[in-house]
Structure 1
Amino acid sequence: MTAQHHAGQRLSLKGQLLSVRYVGPVDGKSGEWLGVEWDDSTRGKHDGVHEGNKYFGCRSKSPSCASFLRSQQPWDKHRTFLEALREKYVSQTSAADQEAIYFSTKQAEEVGFDKFARRQAELRGIHVLVLDRMRIRHRANDPDVDAIGSVCKEITELDIGGNFFETLGEVYDLCRRLPKLRSLTLDGNRFSVEDMLQIRKGSSTSIRTLSLSNVLLDWGAELVPLLQHHFSGVQTLAATNNEWSVASDAGGLPPGLKTLDLSNNDYTALADLSSVACSSVETLVLKNCTIATIVNTASTNLRPVFRSVQELDVRHNKVAVWNFFDQLPASFPSIKHLRTTGNPLYSNLRSHDGKALAAEDGYMLTIARLPSLETLNYSKITDKDRLNADTYYLGLIAAEISAASTDVGAADVRERHPRFGALCEKYGEPTITRKTIRADGEIDPDSLAARLVRVMFSSGTLVWTEELPKSLSIYALLGNVSKKLGVLPLRLRLVLETDERDPVSSGPAAYEGPDWWCSDSDDEDAESQDTLRAKEAQGQNLWAMREVEMRAGTRALGTYVEGADARVRVEARG
């Protein structure tokens, strides 16, 4: 290993950041090579394994994050912290060196420019420094390093993401020189924490806001111990895009941590975050993960309970079924604010019978499943919103129960909608028109369905169907039909078409009784057309379907119809 390059070294080549993971020979190639892991995980050609030989490991899980490079490269030049600070914030030209400014022929008087330049050089009035991707390499023995404290004594927020920090000690040495620092962003740095225990515990407890996105530290072995040992005072933590799939079994998070952003990680279930469930986090952001369920059925993890979480953001995940939101109150008993847009569930909403639902329906069905919710997707839920959502959801459940043909099916519907009981207590149980099927296959006579009749009306080419109570009078039935057709009731005639047949004589021969059925006949249902034509030619009796006129009166529809279905032809009176 050469003195110029070493494992863990941070470099930049043509603006592309990388970490040296290996220095040495490569089989089949001459000379010394650098095995590097690119920050851009799509830039490489392998993951440290080349032609079957593993030369080094990478932090990224990407199969294309690594490459081999020759050490003689036009590496981008690094800067010290103060050099980067002066380059970005301090003007190198004094006011006296500025070219004179003229308005027409009169020279403008530049008042206060020198004073402003001096203030800027001292960073007076500046509290936030953004020095990301400035190729900063910090060492405790850098020239003028002691000047950092006096120049940056008022700095409260510092962003040094995407730089050349290689160890936690380098980060600590820089931050300890900023006495008022409260917010620190280290995104995109790939520093090692192996020297963690060599640094005094609690050295950075003044930091309240910390960002460790895309640092690719291990959650349990590196990140959580780092927080416990050095950043125990943090209240807001952003740790996105770290390729984590599990955040569990790692001990406690800082007791004062209230806001946690774990977006763009690889979680598939909320149970993957069991260590977060045991924390005091109140706002949990999980955008752009692959979360689809509360508990992954393929694993043995138990259902977590996030007792302190009041605000949850699961936008742009993989939630595709309502069961996720049905289980949410049990896992988040204190939830008040929820954001859910961008999940596949809302892109293809359907009712139980396959009818398409609008986006507004999805909004209401989400609210109805979460009784403690106060805002959804940043919109405040009013009392009217809650009433509309609850009653709409209750009606859909009732319709689904009505469609169930057995008691077992109805019980299954109730089980799939755990809010049904509470909604019934609050608003009263809805009317359910379920056709209960008994063991013998018949409809239960005590059910509401047994007191209804399904009537198919026909008027010319117009055909429609209605489900009506058998107790409905013919007066009322005529009124319904006349309203449908826009015709006065007295101008209509209702004819019930039955399935019974009456004999019709086509000649002088007298009726001799019904034809007897014979078991030897090839046709068990009816005589052949040839036989009927022969009988008609001989003047014998034929059969016609019986029709009954339903005359206007108080007589009930059920006295005309025996079964559950009927056909009624609507005619105009002559």
Structure 2
Amino acid sequence: MLVPGDRVAVDGFLATVRFVGEIPNWPNETAIGIEWDVPERGKNDGSLNGTRYFTTLHGAKSGSFVKPSKLQPTRSFMDAMVYQYASDESLANESASLVDHFDLTIGTKKVESYGFEKLSRLQADFRNLETATLERLNVAVSSPIDSSLHNLQVLDLGFNLLDWHNLMQIVLQLPNLHTLKANGNRWTRYEPCTPCLSVRTLHLAACDLGNSQYTAQLLSCFPKLQHLHVASNGLKYIEVCGLESLDLSDNSFTLLSDAPPAKRLNLSYNDLHIPSLTETSLQIVEELDLCNTAVSEWSEIDNLAQLPNLTSLRILNTPLLNSTDYDSAMCQLFARIPSLVKLDGTVYTTEHRDNFELYFISKVRSKEWSCPQPLWTTLCAKHGVSTQETTPAHQHPTSTCVEVVYDTCRFSATLFSSATVGKLRGKISRKLGLSVLDFQLYTQLGHDIEHLANDQQIVAALGLANPVQVELQPWESGLRQQPYLRKSGVAD
């Protein structure tokens, strides 16, 4: 008998039972009031003709009433395992209750129903199984698990119908399980259970944890966690500590300081800003993903400098970077965060950092950029530059100016002396909105037109005069119609 809080599947979509009873529309029939996991499938907020039968959590149109005949049948864990991994299809179809036929006690009817040969083959398949995926199979109950599954290390139970008790009953019977994926499940009830000490990696994305009163208790069932993925849960706060990695992407955090500490922290797709971090526990953060956040001021980046171990940062698609040229932003990021080594997936050398910092110093001196006084003093001391005198000419990083021509579009690209052809290709890609695979680069070297196909080649090492005009051709036409180069004021 269904009760509010149970999970059901209708037409392949999951929902939570909010009401069981009669409604005037269906006299003498049981009506199941549900709230859809995908709110757009709903038709009401639990009210009919002015009478409220239940309350929805996700909007005025996230609820529906369905008849019991619309509910899809559920499976036990072992039913799903046999259905998914039985080597002989006849095993999966032999009985309506596969769990009952998985008891291997000698002399019982259960063993006879399969026969020793089929059971042995099925057990052999399971003993070799280290990863099992049972996603979207309407698994709702645990069931006894045979010892042939004790080698299982990674289990995906995503988007099923398990309550927390049954989920824990499954994982506690798998002694070598280290990774559990339970994305898309939702839990409206909780009862204390034995902690699972084997699981180190836990995926609970899209589980509506932001609306659950049991989130802390659920996570406490895995005291040995090292990696936690809780994206898309509407979370504004979560209490965990001592993690190697924590994925909080696509939640509702507004301040970086509200996030718990982890060495690798993903806060992308949160509408957050970066306040002062001197009083937080985020000092352990080494890798930080802030892509698609609300970061908009350089003072926020200065606050990141308060994280002494921060070596890797992702920060694309933020108001701050969208408002300036990426290369200019890169110089500021490296100058303002002294521990930074890796930016948006690319590792930069000490030589790169020196170039970035010297360019930053020159921009601050020309009053184009601002710089906090402690940082300015540190940078000037590092490079032997007076805090008041103009930077000596030899201290300025050298650059290469490249004039790019594509159809009727022309623009100049300034590159540091260490920039590669690949870097030039990336700059052109962003400027023109083209994929890097949509064009080729050509330039004239002496009397010859050269195809710049080696992305690792240093642009400055080509020995070209500045400025240099580069023409682009799409890959499909580039080999048939090579462009030529014209240099203004330069004899052929």
Q: TM-score, normalised by structure 1?
A: 0.58
Please name the residue that 1:382 is paired with.
349
Q: Aligned pair in 2 of structure 1 residues 305, 65: CA closer, same or farther (>3 Å)? A: farther
Q: CA deviation at 1:292?
A: 3.2
1:372 to 339, 346, 357: 339
* Matching of residues 82-481 of structure 1 within 5 Å: 82-93=78-89, 118=121, 122-139=125-142, 145-146=143-144, 148-166=145-163, 168-195=164-191, 197=192, 199-200=193-194, 203-218=195-210, 221-228=213-220, 230-247=221-238, 250=239, 253-255=240-242, 257-273=243-259, 276-277=260-261, 281-294=262-275, 304-330=280-306, 332-349=307-324, 358-400=325-367, 413-415=370-372, 419-427=375-383, 428-429=385-386
Q: CA deviation at 1:25?
A: 5.0
Structure 1: state its 5+ residue gaps: 96-113, 140-144, 296-300, 350-357, 404-412, 434-574
Q: CA deviation at 1:33?
A: 3.4
Does the aligned pair in 1 maintain the 2:210–2:234 contact within 8 Å? no
Please name the residue that 1:8 is paired with.
5
Q: Say which SS state the counterpart of residue 140 (structure 2) adopts.
A: coil
Determine the C-alpha separation between the residues in 2 that align with 1:375 and 1:157: 31
Determine the C-alpha separation between the residues in 1 that align with 2:49 and 2:388: 70
Q: Aligned pair in 2 of structure 1 residues 215, 283: CA closer, same or farther (>3 Å)? A: same
Q: CA deviation at 1:237?
A: 0.6
Please name the residue that 1:511 is paired with.
none
Determine the C-alpha separation between the residues in 2 that align with 1:231 and 1:180: 14
Determine the C-alpha separation between the residues in 2 that align with 1:68 and 1:170: 26
Determine the C-alpha separation between the residues in 2 that align with 1:47 and 1:385: 58
Does the aligned pair in 1 maintain the 2:9–2:72 contact within 8 Å? yes
Q: CA deviation at 1:27?
A: 8.2
Q: Say which SS state the counterpart of residue 126 (structure 2) adopts.
A: coil
Determine the C-alpha separation between the residues in 1 that align with 2:245 and 2:39: 28
Determine the C-alpha separation between the residues in 2 that align with 1:214 and 1:57: 21
Does the aligned pair in 2 maintain the 1:43–1:64 contact within 8 Å? no
- Is structure 2 residue 9 aligned with structure 1 residue 21? no
Q: CA deviation at 1:29?
A: 8.1
Q: CA deviation at 1:430?
A: 5.9
Q: Say which SS state the counterpart of residue 20 (structure 1) adopts.
A: strand
Determine the C-alpha separation between the residues in 2 that align with 1:219 and 1:68: 20
Q: CA deviation at 1:136?
A: 0.8
Q: Aligned pair in 2 of structure 1 residues 286, 50: CA closer, same or farther (>3 Å)? A: farther
Does the aligned pair in 1 maintain the 2:234–2:252 contact within 8 Å? yes
Determine the C-alpha separation between the residues in 2 that align with 1:227 and 1:219: 15
Determine the C-alpha separation between the residues in 2 that align with 1:320 and 1:397: 19
Determine the C-alpha separation between the residues in 1 that align with 2:380 and 2:9: 65
String of CA shifts for 1:424-477, please: whole Å, max 9, x gaps: 2222136678xxxxxxxxxxxxxxxxxxxxxxxxxxxxxxxxxxxxxxxxxxxx
Q: CA deviation at 1:220?
A: 8.8
Amino acid at match of 1:234: L
1:56 to 54, 57, 61: 54
- Is structure 2 residue 76 aligned with structure 1 residue 80? yes
Does the aligned pair in 1 maintain the 2:154–2:179 contact within 8 Å? yes
Q: CA deviation at 1:132?
A: 0.8
Amino acid at match of 1:36: I
Identity of aligned residues (%): 27
Q: Aligned pair in 2 of structure 1 residues 386, 254: CA closer, same or farther (>3 Å)? A: closer
Please name the residue that 1:468 is paired with.
none
Determine the C-alpha separation between the residues in 2 that align with 1:52 and 1:422: 69
String of CA shifts for 1:489-520, please: whole Å, max 9, x gaps: xxxxxxxxxxxxxxxxxxxxxxxxxxxxxxxx
Amino acid at match of 1:313: D
Determine the C-alpha separation between the residues in 2 that align with 1:324 and 1:51: 52
Amino acid at match of 1:429: S
* Matching of residues 536-551 of structure 1 within 5 Å: none
Amino acid at match of 1:211: H
Structure 2: state its 5+ residue gaps: 92-116, 391-492
Please name the residue that 1:409 is paired with.
none
Q: Which runs of 4+ in 1 moved over 4 A?
A: 25-32, 46-55, 218-221, 430-433
Amino acid at match of 1:34: I
Q: Say which SS state the counterpart of residue 291 (structure 1) adopts.
A: coil
String of CA shifts for 1:59-96, please: whole Å, max 9, x gaps: 5xx3256223132433222122122112211132589x
Q: CA deviation at 1:376?
A: 1.1
Q: CA deviation at 1:54?
A: 5.6
String of CA shifts for 1:159-194, please: whole Å, max 9, x gaps: 10111112x211111112212111111111112342
Q: Aligned pair in 2 of structure 1 residues 304, 29: CA closer, same or farther (>3 Å)? A: farther
Larger radius of gyration: 1
Does the aligned pair in 2 maintain the 1:288–1:315 contact within 8 Å? yes
Q: CA deviation at 1:217?
A: 2.4
Determine the C-alpha separation between the residues in 2 that align with 1:49 and 1:322: 50
Q: Aligned pair in 2 of structure 1 residues 28, 344: CA closer, same or farther (>3 Å)? A: same
